[in-house]
Protein backbone atom coordinates (compact mmCIF):
# COMPACT_ATOMS: atom_id res chain seq x y z
CA UNK A 1 0.00 0.00 0.00
CA UNK A 2 1.31 3.51 -0.78
CA UNK A 3 2.66 5.69 2.05
CA UNK A 4 3.66 2.66 4.14
CA UNK A 5 0.39 2.24 6.05
CA UNK A 6 -1.66 -0.87 6.69
CA UNK A 7 -5.40 -0.66 7.17
CA UNK A 8 -6.83 -1.96 10.40
CA UNK A 9 -10.21 -3.06 11.65
CA UNK A 10 -13.06 -1.07 13.14
CA UNK A 11 -12.57 2.31 11.47
CA UNK A 12 -8.83 2.37 12.18
CA UNK A 13 -7.19 4.14 9.26
CA UNK A 14 -3.86 5.76 10.21
CA UNK A 15 -3.56 9.18 8.61
CA UNK A 16 -0.67 9.49 6.14
CA UNK A 17 1.70 12.37 6.94
CA UNK A 18 0.91 14.17 3.66
CA UNK A 19 -2.76 14.45 4.68
CA UNK A 20 -1.88 16.21 7.95
CA UNK A 21 0.76 18.34 6.22
CA UNK A 22 -1.83 19.50 3.69
CA UNK A 23 -4.17 20.62 6.48
CA UNK A 24 -1.45 22.42 8.45
CA UNK A 25 -0.22 24.22 5.32
CA UNK A 26 -3.68 25.37 4.18
CA UNK A 27 -5.38 25.95 7.55
CA UNK A 28 -2.75 26.46 10.27
CA UNK A 29 -4.17 26.15 13.79
CA UNK A 30 -3.83 29.01 16.28
CA UNK A 31 -1.17 29.03 19.00
CA UNK A 32 -1.82 26.60 21.85
CA UNK A 33 -1.86 22.86 22.35
CA UNK A 34 -3.78 20.65 19.96
CA UNK A 35 -6.16 17.88 21.04
CA UNK A 36 -6.08 14.59 19.09
CA UNK A 37 -9.04 12.59 20.45
CA UNK A 38 -8.53 9.49 18.24
CA UNK A 39 -4.77 9.28 18.43
CA UNK A 40 -4.30 5.62 17.55
CA UNK A 41 -0.59 4.90 17.17
CA UNK A 42 0.13 8.60 16.76
CA UNK A 43 0.19 9.30 13.00
CA UNK A 44 -1.35 12.79 13.33
CA UNK A 45 0.34 13.37 16.70
CA UNK A 46 3.75 12.65 15.21
CA UNK A 47 3.26 15.13 12.38
CA UNK A 48 2.01 17.82 14.80
CA UNK A 49 5.05 17.29 17.04
CA UNK A 50 7.36 17.37 14.01
CA UNK A 51 5.88 20.80 13.19
CA UNK A 52 6.51 22.05 16.74
CA UNK A 53 2.98 21.85 18.15
CA UNK A 54 2.19 20.78 21.69
CA UNK A 55 -0.34 17.93 21.73
CA UNK A 56 -2.71 16.29 24.21
CA UNK A 57 -3.83 12.93 22.86
CA UNK A 58 -6.67 10.59 23.74
CA UNK A 59 -7.05 7.01 22.57
CA UNK A 60 -9.88 4.65 23.46
CA UNK A 61 -7.66 1.59 23.97
CA UNK A 62 -4.44 1.07 25.89
CA UNK A 63 -2.68 -0.70 23.00
CA UNK A 64 -0.96 2.44 21.68
CA UNK A 65 -0.10 4.08 25.01
CA UNK A 66 3.65 3.42 24.72
CA UNK A 67 3.77 4.81 21.19
CA UNK A 68 1.93 7.98 22.24
CA UNK A 69 3.97 8.42 25.44
CA UNK A 70 7.19 8.19 23.40
CA UNK A 71 5.92 11.04 21.19
CA UNK A 72 4.45 13.45 23.78
CA UNK A 73 5.07 12.15 27.31
CA UNK A 74 2.83 10.40 29.84
CA UNK A 75 1.16 13.60 31.12
CA UNK A 76 -0.13 14.40 27.60
CA UNK A 77 -1.79 11.02 27.00
CA UNK A 78 -5.28 10.02 28.09
CA UNK A 79 -6.74 6.55 27.61
CA UNK A 80 -10.52 6.32 27.50
CA UNK A 81 -13.68 6.94 25.53
CA UNK A 82 -13.72 10.42 23.96
CA UNK A 83 -17.43 10.66 24.72
CA UNK A 84 -16.51 10.64 28.44
CA UNK A 85 -14.34 13.75 27.99
CA UNK A 86 -16.35 16.90 28.65
CA UNK A 87 -13.44 19.33 28.98
CA UNK A 88 -10.00 19.44 27.41
CA UNK A 89 -6.88 20.43 29.40
CA UNK A 90 -6.04 24.08 29.86
CA UNK A 91 -4.02 25.57 27.04
CA UNK A 92 -5.68 23.51 24.31
CA UNK A 93 -7.05 25.72 21.55
CA UNK A 94 -7.50 23.29 18.66
CA UNK A 95 -8.60 19.78 17.78
CA UNK A 96 -7.39 17.76 14.79
CA UNK A 97 -8.42 14.17 14.15
CA UNK A 98 -9.42 11.44 11.76
CA UNK A 99 -12.53 10.20 13.59
CA UNK A 100 -14.29 6.85 13.26
CA UNK A 101 -16.63 7.46 10.32
CA UNK A 102 -19.20 5.07 11.76
CA UNK A 103 -19.77 7.51 14.67
CA UNK A 104 -20.46 10.57 12.51
CA UNK A 105 -22.02 13.07 12.84
CA UNK A 106 -22.42 12.60 16.62
CA UNK A 107 -18.67 12.37 17.09
CA UNK A 108 -18.20 15.65 15.21
CA UNK A 109 -20.83 17.38 17.36
CA UNK A 110 -19.00 16.25 20.50
CA UNK A 111 -15.71 17.66 19.14
CA UNK A 112 -17.38 20.94 18.22
CA UNK A 113 -18.96 21.21 21.68
CA UNK A 114 -15.57 21.60 23.39
CA UNK A 115 -15.47 25.36 22.81
CA UNK A 116 -12.16 25.32 20.93
CA UNK A 117 -11.01 28.00 18.48
CA UNK A 118 -10.26 25.50 15.71
CA UNK A 119 -11.54 22.03 14.84
CA UNK A 120 -10.45 19.97 11.83
CA UNK A 121 -11.90 16.54 11.05
CA UNK A 122 -11.42 14.17 8.13
CA UNK A 123 -14.90 13.11 7.09
CA UNK A 124 -16.58 11.56 4.06
CA UNK A 125 -17.86 14.23 1.70
CA UNK A 126 -21.24 12.48 1.92
CA UNK A 127 -21.71 14.13 5.32
CA UNK A 128 -22.64 17.23 3.33
CA UNK A 129 -25.18 15.55 1.12
CA UNK A 130 -27.03 13.13 3.34
CA UNK A 131 -30.65 14.01 4.01
CA UNK A 132 -30.39 12.44 7.48
CA UNK A 133 -27.51 14.80 8.30
CA UNK A 134 -29.13 17.99 6.97
CA UNK A 135 -29.61 19.32 10.53
CA UNK A 136 -25.92 18.86 11.27
CA UNK A 137 -25.00 20.73 8.09
CA UNK A 138 -27.31 23.65 8.87
CA UNK A 139 -26.03 24.02 12.42
CA UNK A 140 -22.33 23.22 11.94
CA UNK A 141 -21.27 24.55 8.55
CA UNK A 142 -17.47 24.50 8.26
CA UNK A 143 -15.48 27.62 7.47
CA UNK A 144 -13.21 25.67 5.14
CA UNK A 145 -12.64 22.34 3.41
CA UNK A 146 -9.88 20.49 1.63
CA UNK A 147 -11.07 17.78 -0.73
CA UNK A 148 -8.57 14.92 -0.71
CA UNK A 149 -8.52 14.13 -4.41
CA UNK A 150 -5.72 11.59 -3.92
CA UNK A 151 -7.13 8.82 -1.75
CA UNK A 152 -5.38 8.40 1.60
CA UNK A 153 -6.63 4.79 1.78
CA UNK A 154 -7.40 2.53 -1.19
CA UNK A 155 -10.87 1.41 -0.07
CA UNK A 156 -12.12 4.80 1.22
CA UNK A 157 -13.39 7.31 -1.31
CA UNK A 158 -14.36 10.94 -1.26
CA UNK A 159 -13.00 12.28 2.02
CA UNK A 160 -12.19 15.86 2.97
CA UNK A 161 -10.78 17.88 5.81
CA UNK A 162 -13.64 19.88 7.33
CA UNK A 163 -12.38 22.91 9.25
CA UNK A 164 -14.22 25.13 11.73
CA UNK A 165 -12.39 28.31 12.81
CA UNK A 166 -13.78 30.68 15.44
CA UNK A 167 -14.54 34.08 14.00
CA UNK A 168 -14.56 32.87 10.39
CA UNK A 169 -17.69 32.91 8.27
CA UNK A 170 -19.10 29.48 7.43
CA UNK A 171 -18.77 28.37 3.84
CA UNK A 172 -21.86 28.97 1.74
CA UNK A 173 -23.76 25.76 1.07
CA UNK A 174 -26.95 25.20 -0.80
CA UNK A 175 -29.27 22.21 -0.72
CA UNK A 176 -32.16 21.40 -3.01
pLDDT at position 58 over 60? yes
* Residue 67 belongs to some domain of the structure: yes
pLDDT given for residue 86 in this prediction: 92
Contacts of 63 (CB under 8 A, 6+ apart): none
pLDDT given for residue 149 in this prediction: 77
* Residue 66 belongs to some domain of the structure: yes
Q: Is the model's pTM score more than 0.85?
A: yes
Q: How many CB atoms lie within 10 A of CB 17?
A: 16
* Residue 171 belongs to some domain of the structure: no
The model's pLDDT over 114-142, given as tens digits with 9 standing for 90+, comes to 999 999 999 888 777 777 777 787 888 89
Q: 39-48: string of b/e by CB count within 10 Å (b at 16+)?
A: bbbbbbbbbb
Find the mean pLDDT for residues 143-170.
Answer: 84
* Residue 65 belongs to some domain of the structure: yes
* Residue 48 belongs to some domain of the structure: yes
* Residue 1 belongs to some domain of the structure: no
Report the number of distinct structural domains present in the chain: 1
pLDDT given for residue 96 in this prediction: 98
Average pLDDT, the chain: 87
CATH number reported for the structural domain that contains residue 141 in this entry: 3.40.50.150
Domain that residue 115 falls in:
15-165
Q: Compute, in degrees rounded to 10, the torsion defined by CA atoms 54, 104, 111, 162.
A: 60
* Residue 2 belongs to some domain of the structure: no
Find the mean pLDDT for residues 45-66.
Answer: 96
List strands edge to edge, sheet with 159-165. 77-79, 55-59, 33-36, 92-97, 118-124, 159-165, 144-147
pLDDT at position 9 over 90? no
Instruction: Please say whether the beta carbons of 135 and 86 come within 8 A.
Output: no
* Residue 3 belongs to some domain of the structure: no
Amino acid sequence: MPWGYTLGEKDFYPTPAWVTELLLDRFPPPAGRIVEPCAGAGAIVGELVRRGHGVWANEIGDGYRDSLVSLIGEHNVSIGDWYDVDRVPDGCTSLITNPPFSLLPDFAVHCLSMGLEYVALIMPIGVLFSEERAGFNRKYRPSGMINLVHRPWPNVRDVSWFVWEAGKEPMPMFSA
